[in-house]
């Protein structure tokens, strides 16, 4: 008898939270499965309410369920990791890699400007399903996603500043380029003008115009100056972004430490109150026994006393 085979889709074994292949999979009471670290992180945020929900079906649980590893699902996931996909799926030199894939990186097909991540076809399908109620803005994964995002404000570059000759976001235009000449990147007019200008510079060859070496030198000096200025601005923006991320990280750590201290304080106070109640109960019991013995000591009936 031939061995029965079941066809499975790798999409069925991805975590709905991180959109990656399940790691240390657990299955909760409603039947949905998650990476243990992902569902633990979700439920940690619901600790104050003492009501825990499934991120997919929103079914609630109280008290917090105990998570046990789904060994069968873990074995299936391990086998899926060993499956080799066609070469077209693997990211090669010059290809954009999927930001969600772990281990082997697959070729990205789409990039999300909201999540600021690039996805292979599998993870993009999950991304679209997860954000079906409010679709995100996505583009073809044709280059580095970071080049399309403002490094200072984490916003999409959708405006071109003609004055400074660089792409900016809406916040840059509002606070730093408010009086500059700008145009939306959705129009092709500025790009056509820029290409025309670059072509003119390219066509000017000093060897063909020996009578105008000074003009050519001035243009080269100007282009070099502009390049140095843009590089310096990029370095400044990078440093500001790094320090901003460090400050945010420190603030998150401070909030987490404060939350843990408050939780420990609450637990310690609760334990102390419990101990005080038990001590008061013992004291009351001892007083009642003393009163009973005192009353019994005054009886004249020996049998009753014994």
Say if 44 falls within a structural domain: yes
pTM, rounded to two decimals: 0.34
* pLDDT tens sequence across 273-294: 889 999 999 999 999 988 888 8
Confidence at residue 249, expressed as pLDDT on a 0 to 100 scale = 84
Residue 90 has a pLDDT of 57
Distance from C-alpha of 259 to C-alpha of 263, rounded to nearest angstrom: 6
pLDDT reported for residue 185: 59
Give the phi and the psi of residue 70 in degrees, each rounded to 5: -85, 95
Which of these three, 159, 188, 203, is where a domain ends?
203
pLDDT at 211: 44
Residue 57 lies in a domain: yes
Check if the beta carbon of residue 39 is closer than 8 Å to that of residue 26: yes
| Mean pLDDT of the region 142-153 | 74
pLDDT tens figures, 70-79: 888 888 888 7
Asked if 135 and 170 sit in the same domain, the reply is no
Length of the chain, in residues: 306
Asked if residue 238 and residue 304 are part of one domain, the reply reads yes
Span 189-213, mean pLDDT? Answer: 60
Q: Is pLDDT of 207 > 50?
A: no
Give yes or no: residues 76 and 98 share one domain. Answer: no
* Same-domain check for residues 305 and 262: yes
Last residue of a domain, one of 63, 83, 103: 83
pLDDT computed for residue 75 by the predictor: 86
Structural domain contains residue 292: yes
Q: What percent of the chain has pLDDT over 70?
A: 80
Lowest mean pLDDT among 104-113, 179-188, 218-227, 277-286: 179-188
Residue 141 and residue 195 share a domain: no
Residue 226 pLDDT grade (very low, low, confident, very high; cuts 50, 70, 90): confident
- Return the closest-CA partner of residue 56 out of 24, 13, 100, 17: 17
Q: How many domains, in total, are found in the chain?
A: 4
Q: Within this chain, do residues 296 and 250 fall inside the same structural domain, yes or no? A: yes
Domain co-membership, 98 together with 58: no
| pLDDT value of position 215 | 57
Confirm whether 221 is domain-assigned: no
- Co-location of 77 and 93 in the same domain: no
Q: Would residue 53 be called left, alpha or beta, if left means φ above 0 and alpha means ψ between -120 and 50 degrees?
A: beta
Q: Which residue has the higher pLDDT, 232 or 261?
A: 261
Q: Which of 9-23, 40-54, 251-265 has the lowest mean pLDDT?
A: 9-23
- Identify the band that residue 187 occupies on the pLDDT scale cut at 50, 70 and 90: very low
Higher pLDDT, 48 or 149: 48
Report residue 26's pLDDT band, with 50, 70 and 90 as the boundaries: very high
Distances (CA, A) of 263 to 64, 65, 257, 259, 301: 16, 20, 10, 6, 59
- Statement: residue 208 has pLDDT above 60: no
Residues 37 and 94 in one domain: no
Query: Do residues 186 and 239 share a domain?
Result: no
CATH number for the domain that contains residue 60: 3.30.40.10
229 inside domain: no
pLDDT at 10: 60
Looking at 83, 106, 135, the residue that finishes a domain is 83
Phi, psi of 229 (to 5 degrees): -65, -45
Q: With respect to residue 224, please indicate whether it lies within any of the assigned structural domains.
A: no
Asked whether residue 197 is domain-assigned, the answer is yes
CATH classification of the domain holding 113: 4.10.830
Give the Cα separation of 87 and 161 in Å (integer). 42
Contact between 105 and 97 under an 8 Å Cβ cutoff? The reply is: yes
Q: pLDDT band for 88, please (50, 70, 90 cuts).
A: very low
Return the pLDDT at 3: 41
Flag whether 220 is in a domain.
no
Supply angle C-alpha 157, 143, 159, rounded to 5: 15
In the prediction, which pLDDT does 214 show? Answer: 53
Q: What is the rounded CA–CA span in Å between residue 31 and residue 216? A: 72
- Does one domain contain both 54 and 29? yes
Domain boundaries, position 27 = 8-83
């Amino acid at each position: 008898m031939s061995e029965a085979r079941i066809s499975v889709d790798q999409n069925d074994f991805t975590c709905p939270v991180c959109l990656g292949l399940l790691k240390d999979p657990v299955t909760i009471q409603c039947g949905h499965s998650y990476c243990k670290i992902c569902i633990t992180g979700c439920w940690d945020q619901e600790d104050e309410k003492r009501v825990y929900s499934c991120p997919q079906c929103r079914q609630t649980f109280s008290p917090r369920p105990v998570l046990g590893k789904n060994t069968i699902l873990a074995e299936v996931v391990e086998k899926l990791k060993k499956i080799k996909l066609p070469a077209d799926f693997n990211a090669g030199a010059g290809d954009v890699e999927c930001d969600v894939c772990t281990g082997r990186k697959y070729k990205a097909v789409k990039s999300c400007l909201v999540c600021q991540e690039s996805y292979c076809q599998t993870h993009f399908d999950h991304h679209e399903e997860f954000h079906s109620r409010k679709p995100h803005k996505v583009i073809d994964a044709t280059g580095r996603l970071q080049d399309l995002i403002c490094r200072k404000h984490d916003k999409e570059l959708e405006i071109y500043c003609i004055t400074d000759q660089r792409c900016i976001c809406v916040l840059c235009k509002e606070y730093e380029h408010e009086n500059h000449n700008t145009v939306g990147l959705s129009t092709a007019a500025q790009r056509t003008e820029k290409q025309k200008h670059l072509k003119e510079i390219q066509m000017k060859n000093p060897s063909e115009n020996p009578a105008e070496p000074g003009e050519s030198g001035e243009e080269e000096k100007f282009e070099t100056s502009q390049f140095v200025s843009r590089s310096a601005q990029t370095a400044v923006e990078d440093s500001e972004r790094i320090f901003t991320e460090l400050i945010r990280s420190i603030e998150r750590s401070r909030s987490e430490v404060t939350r843990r201290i408050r939780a420990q304080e609450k637990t310690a106070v609760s334990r102390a109150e419990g101990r005080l109640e038990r001590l008061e109960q013992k004291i009351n019991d001892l007083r009642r026994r003393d009163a009973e013995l005192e009353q019994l000591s005054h009886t004249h009936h020996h049998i009753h006393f014994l």
